[in-house]
């Protein structure tokens, strides 16, 4: 919805990484071992991929970074890269979600093997169990959406990612919204804090 409204791409390091894993590149192979156990892929790998992506033409008007940075060192490195491009970040957006709700979102997530469309068994289930509405592909649970892995991810989040709230708060670019309600509600709240 944000892509459509602002006419800018969403850059998900998860997607970039999964593509590298699927393509079986050297960096992809390295990343897979870490991702499967819910850990964080080395910064040198991630920042390299992000830097390449931001240099592409469709990012000239702006972009949405999704899932990156996840640690203070990554945020500092990103700031360095962006300073070099003379284009600092405008906004860091924090979407605050209740822990029980978050577990449902993560454990309920299913992805289409063919077209990567995402579903959630609790919030946005497919019409037919285990089958993609769009392409009839098979739905599966990603390795990093398994419960034990999610617990590890949440611990990693508390330790490594939560400090970014302070990091961007101090730079006065942090905007927060409550991540409750329907997708439309959350979208409207985000548009409202973005002030456009």
Q: At what angle do helices 26-36 and 13-23 cross, to 10 degrees?
A: 120
Strands, sheet with 109-112, edge to edge from the N-terminal-most edge strand: 118-120, 109-112, 139-140
Taking CB under 5 A as the criterion, the residue among 54, 112, 139, 150 binding Zn ion is: 112
> Min. distance of Cβ 127 from Zn ion in angstroms?
12
Q: Does 118 bind Zn ion (CB under 5 A)?
A: no
End-to-end CA distance of the chain: 14
- Nearest-approach distance from CB 142 to Zn ion, in angstroms: 14
Residue with Cβ nearer Zn ion (106 or 132): 132
Q: Does residue 113 belong to the site contacting Zn ion (CB under 5 A)? A: no
Q: Does 135 bind Zn ion (CB under 5 A)?
A: yes
Q: Compose the 136-155 pattern: x for residues touching Zn ion by CB under 5 A, - for all others.
A: -x------------------
CA dihedral angle for residue 54, residue 60, residue 61, residue 63, rounded to 10 degrees: -10
Label the pairing between strands 109-112 and 139-140. Answer: antiparallel
Q: Does residue 134 bind Zn ion (CB under 5 A)?
A: yes
Interface residue list for Zn ion (CB under 5 A): 112, 114-115, 117, 132, 134-135, 137
């Amino acid at each position: 919805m944000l892509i459509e409204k602002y006419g800018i791409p969403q850059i998900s390091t998860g997607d970039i990484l999964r593509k590298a894993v699927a393509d079986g590149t050297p960096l992809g192979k390295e990343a897979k071992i870490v991702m499967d156990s819910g850990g964080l892929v080395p910064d040198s790998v991630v920042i390299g991929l992000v830097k390449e992506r931001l240099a592409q033409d469709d990012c000239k008007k702006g972009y949405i970074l999704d899932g990156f940075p996840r640690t203070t060192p990554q945020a500092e490195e990103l700031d360095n890269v962006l300073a070099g491009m003379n284009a600092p970040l405008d906004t860091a957006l924090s979407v605050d979600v209740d822990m029980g709700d978050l577990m449902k979102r993560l454990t309920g997530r299913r992805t289409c093997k063919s077209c990567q469309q995402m579903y959630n068994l609790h919030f946005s289930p497919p019409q037919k169990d285990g089958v993609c509405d769009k392409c009839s592909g098979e739905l599966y649970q990603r390795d990093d959406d398994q419960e034990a892995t999610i617990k590890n991810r949440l611990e990693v989040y508390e330790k490594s990612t939560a400090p970014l709230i302070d990091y961007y708060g101090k730079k006065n670019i942090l905007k927060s919204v409550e991540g409750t309600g329907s997708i439309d509600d959350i979208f409207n709240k985000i548009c409202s804090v973005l002030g456009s």
